[in-house]
Amino acid sequence: MAVSDRLYRASLLLVPPLYRALSSLLFASCRIERHGQERYQQFLASGQPFIACFWHYSLAFVLPEIVGRDWVAMVSASRDAEYVSRILNGMGLATVRGSRGKGGLAALKAMMAAIGEQGRKAAIVADGSQGPALKAQAGVILLASKTGVPILPFAAAADRYWAFRSWDRTVLPKPFARVALYFGQPFVVPPGVGSSELEAYRRDLEGRMLALYGEAWGRFAASGHEVGG
């Protein structure tokens, strides 16, 4: 086995639990306010499946909100995404591997089974694993239409944060930051949506999520997040 492979395997054992521990400490130090939380709580109290949908940049903010064993999340099939998958598994979430460019259809079918047959709640990154950032992909619309469950948009912002130089400018709040979480209005996609309607629903969801994104960052007098913010 090559040295690089051994290091990769070792890092898979070390990085996920280290991230979970540090993330727990970090968010415990933050002052978190939740807007529209009653919508989220109503879904949780009902026991019925739904789709939590959020932009990729906000993954670290959303994870503490969806810890539990009755969730399923779609994670990229890439080698690097194995870290994310193991972090989620360690937090009690089931994962399905696949993305638009690799194994997407099989992953979508597995998500449908997890929702429809197992009654799991689903966590979906709206702009996927590769972007473009803040542009909703059609997969979440197909999933909602095929399963008949509503989409609940999430957005997050912080007054002080690090923004990584990734395609989506992933955000991590700084210690003791103020954090705003926004839960949007449920978005329902009718069953049997065809290709001619798919783009209209995709644009509608994207517009709603961008508006929620603007609300979240507007809480701190910002129009959005920037690298080095």
Query: What confidence score (pLDDT) does residue 133 get?
Result: 95
| Stretch 27-54: mean pLDDT | 96
Which two tokens mark 88? 């989620």
Pick from 157, 167, 162, 176: which is nearest to 217 by CA?
157
- What percentage of the chain has pLDDT greater than the value 70? 95
Residue 101: pLDDT band with limits 50, 70, 90: low
Q: Is the pLDDT of residue 160 over 50?
A: yes
Query: What confidence score (pLDDT) does residue 3 get?
Result: 54
The DSSP code sequence of 47-97 is: T---EEEE-GGGHHHHGGGS-STTEEEEE--SSTHHHHHHHHHHTT-EEEE
Judge whether 125 and 59 are in contact, CB under 8 Å: yes
